[in-house]
Amino acid sequence: MRFVLSVVFVVSAAYAGPYAPAVGQMGSTAVSKNDFRIVGWATSVIGTLRGPTNSSDPNSLPASQGTEADVLGMADTDISDSFDVLSLGDGGKITVAFANPITNGPGADFAVFENSINDTFLELAFVEVSTDGNTFVRFPAVSLTQTNTQVPSFGSIDTTNIHNLAGKYRRGYGTLFDLADLIGKPGINLEQINFVRVVDVIGCINPAYATYDSLGNKVNDPWTTDFDTGGFDLDAVAVLNQLIPEPGAATLLLFGGALLARRRRAL
């Protein structure tokens, strides 16, 4: 009995919350930037609106680290590339698009990468998707981090308390999102998602600045981040399931002509 109790204690200490743990731990849902399931990356930025580095200070300047080009293509892993990101600041947002639409396929459909230096210093963001670029639907995010005490600027967050919030994993590893979570939501076609929007959570527990998860909990993450890299730092958005357009009539005609020419040569 003494042995059983000690095992229960160790497990509960390692997994404080009900959600997937950090990179490398059993049950983690982190996806490496080199994962074979990735079939594409964001190819363009539709719009960016940076927030201030300290939303409680009316004189605070917007976050300024990085450019829109830094969020396109494959995610980074090297420490030398850790600033090849775009920092959003408090409540900032960015919308990206893709060569082919994301579609609701088997398992997770896309992943968002941040540039955290370790498994506990996590800057978080809501994720939204759209078919037409006008109507965006937010994933049902959950934050079970306590809200009695503000997580300080370089404080820690337990990944097992975080669900459907980008930034859950360290640099080089993305947070997966499954479009099946949005089945029944109006205004979008889950078979053709053309846009992904990432919105910084702010992370302040003061009701004047707080943002809330899908359960009505305040989202508590490191705050303030009063420097040019403040807020969520978007590195990349990867595609796991994409919609491949059917070839047009001209393409089919060209392909048919090529086959016919090969057949004639064979004869």
DSSP secondary structure string, 134-154? S-EEE---EE-S-SSS---TT
Q: How far is CA 20 from CA 15, 220, 226, 233, 265, in A?
A: 9, 18, 30, 21, 58
Averaged in consecutive runs of 10 residues, what is the pLDDT profile of the chain (267 residues)?
A: 36 70 97 97 98 97 97 84 90 98 98 96 98 98 98 97 98 97 98 98 98 98 97 98 75 46 44
Fill in the DSSP letter of residue 75. P
Radius of gyration in angstroms for the set of CA atoms belonging to the chain, rounded to a whole number: 21
Q: Tell me, what's the pLDDT at 250?
A: 44
**Which residues pair with residue 47 across a beta bridge?**
95
Q: What order do you get walking across the sheet with 93-102 strand by strand?
A: 44-49, 93-102, 193-200, 125-130, 136-138
Q: Tell me, what's the pLDDT at 3?
A: 34
Q: Tell me, what's the pLDDT at 202?
A: 98
The β-bridge relationship of strands 136-138 and 233-234 is unpaired
Q: Tell me, what's the pLDDT at 59?
A: 97
Q: What order do you get walking across the sheet with 173-177 strand by strand?
A: 31-32, 173-177, 110-113, 236-239, 40-41
Residues with Cβ within 8 Å of residue 162, at least 6 apart in sequence: 17, 19, 122, 124, 142, 143, 144, 145, 168
Q: Tell me, what's the pLDDT at 263?
A: 43
27 φψ region: left (φ > 0), alpha (ψ -120 to 50), beta (else)? left
Q: Tell me, what's the pLDDT at 22?
A: 98
Angle ∠(246,248,250) on CA atoms, nearest 5: 150
- The candidate with the shortest Cα–Cα distance to 111, out of 24, 46, 199, 33, is 33
Q: Tell me, what's the pLDDT at 171?
A: 95
- Residue count of the chain: 267
Q: How far apart are CA 78 and CA 85, in angstroms?
A: 12
Tell the residue number behind the tokens 């990085």, with chain if given.
66
